[in-house]
Amino acid sequence: MDKLEFISSGGTRLDKLVSDNTELSRSAAAKLIEQGMVTVNGKPASKKDAPPEGAVVTVELPEPKSADILPEDIPLDIVYEDADLLVVNKPKGMVVHPAAGHYSGTLVNALMYHCGESLSGINGEIRPGIVHRIDKDTSGLLMVAKNDLAHIGLSEQIKAHTFTREYSAVVTGSIKEDGTVNAPIGRHKTDRKRMCVTPDNSREAVTHYTVIRNFAGYTHLSVRLETGRTHQIRVHMSYIGHPVAGDEVYGNGKPKSLGGQCLHAKKIGFVHPRTGEYMEFDSDLPEYFVKFLKSIE
């Protein structure tokens, strides 16, 4: 069993609150609550309860079972593919690999159907082919390895910080100048779902950002990762007082219509592990992103 803890912001039903603070669907969250796997301040609660602000919500997550992970005929937006790797444009709302509450409908389920057994096995049965990941509510480009040679070659580039990753983000508030955030990131001491800037048990994290355009109350940024820590952009932008718009974990979640953070993995670049050729791919901003930009003009 794995455990997650987070603090209630108040005024939200428990099943929705658990779903918003984990990668669980609302129905999966409700099922865990009914099974007594969710407590509020150490006590069982109903899915209809609205924990008060400041209450500690604890969720026990069962380990995913590899037997449950099956190929599924889910359409994929494949930007590039060869015998060693493929580049996929992941939609907002899709989980990358199976986890508690998400044993189906993930990118891995779709990849297993598309690629058959041609996925690297370095990350085991739960995450075949997955070299790096992006959050459920982050859209954009993701690289997948079809064999171990490709997986090792691509992973080494990520470790060496030679792998290009550029994002488009809308953050709250006004940023007038380009800048860099150099602040170590580690796991939050009491809330395992959250990462934070901390000197304790942390790793170096560097984020570069360039201002694209200012709006009333928001700024559109191009963000380049020098390192690739979990939730890095979201943590760093929140740390400097400009959380990503719609971020329900590191910001205030507004506007709710976004359904999660306004963050898109727009560009990736890498040296092909077999041919030695540098390859770079760019994706258009998705509909939800363009719609939001138009709404704040």
Q: Which of 160, 175, 207 is the last residue of a domain?
A: 160
Domain boundary pick from 111, 131, 160: 160
Do both 75 and 116 map to the same domain? yes
Confidence of residue 191 (pLDDT cuts 50, 70, 90): confident
How much of the chain, in percent, has pLDDT values that exceed 90?
Answer: 59
The neighbour count for residue 100, using CB atoms within 10 Å, is 21
Would you call 206 helix, strand, or coil by DSSP? Answer: strand
Same-domain check for residues 84 and 172: no
* Paired residues of 130 in beta bridges: 144
Catalytic residue among 15, 84, 135, 247: 135
Residue 95 amino acid letter:
V
220 and 296 in a single domain? The answer is yes
Q: Which has the closest alpha carbon to 169: 210, 204, 230, 132?
A: 210
Query: Coil, strand, or helix at residue 44?
Result: strand
Amino acid sitting at position 211: V
Do 174 and 288 reside in the same domain of the chain?
A: yes
Told to judge if 135 belongs to the known catalytic residues of this protein, a careful annotator would answer yes
In the prediction, which pLDDT does 188 show? 86
Q: With residue 263 as reference, give the H or E element that holds it.
A: strand 263-271
In the predicted model, what is the mean pLDDT of the chain? Answer: 89
151 and 231, same domain (yes or no) = no
Which residue in the block uniquely carries the two structure tokens 């005929």?
A: 73
Task: Evaluate the CA torsion angle 156, 158, 159, 160 in order and state its sign.
Answer: positive
Is 207:233 a contact under the CB 8 Å cutoff? yes
Residue at a domain's end among 115, 142, 160: 160
Question: Minimal CA–CA distance to 87: which of 134, 136, 149, 124?
Answer: 134
> How much is the average pLDDT of 233-254?
96
What does the alpha-carbon distance between residue 131 and residue 290 come to, in Å, rounded to a whole number? 28
Q: Are 253 and 167 within one domain?
A: yes
Q: What is the pLDDT of residues 123-165, one digit of tens each?
A: 555 567 888 889 999 999 999 999 989 999 999 999 888 999 9
Give the whole-angstrom CA distance, residue 273 versus residue 151.
8
| CATH number, domain with residue 211 | 3.30.2350.10
Question: By residue range, what is the domain housing residue 100?
Answer: 64-160
* Each residue's pLDDT tens digit, 275-291: 999 999 999 999 999 99
Q: What is the distance between the alpha carbons of residues 100 and 106, in angstroms, rounded to a whole number?
A: 12
On whether both 19 and 72 belong to a single domain, the answer is no
DSSP 89: E
- Contacts with 232 (C-beta within 8 Å, 6 or more apart), sequence order: 185, 195, 205, 207, 225
Rg of the chain in Å (alpha carbons):
19
Among 231, 228, 261, CA closest to 246: 261
Query: Which pLDDT value is given to residue 67?
Result: 46
The answer to whether residue 94 scores a pLDDT higher than 60 is yes
Based on the fold, state whether residues 222 and 106 are members of the same structural domain.
no
Which tokens belong to 38?
């969710």
Closest CA to 140 of 177, 187, 90, 101: 90
Q: Are 245 and 295 in the same domain?
A: yes
Please indicate, yes or no, whether residues 130 and 206 belong to a single structural domain of this protein.
Answer: no
Q: Considering only 19-28, 151-160, 239-248, which range has the smallest mean pLDDT? A: 19-28
Pair 62, 1: CB distance under 8 Å: yes
User: The CATH number of the domain where 31 resides is what?
Assistant: 3.10.290.10
Residue 187, pLDDT score: 84
- Structurally, the chain folds into a number of domains equal to 3
287 and 175: one domain? yes
Task: List the beta bridge partners of residue 222.
Answer: 168, 210
Cβ atoms of 163 and 154 within 8 Å: the answer is yes
For 110, the token pair is 């779709």
Residues 167 and 267 in one domain: yes
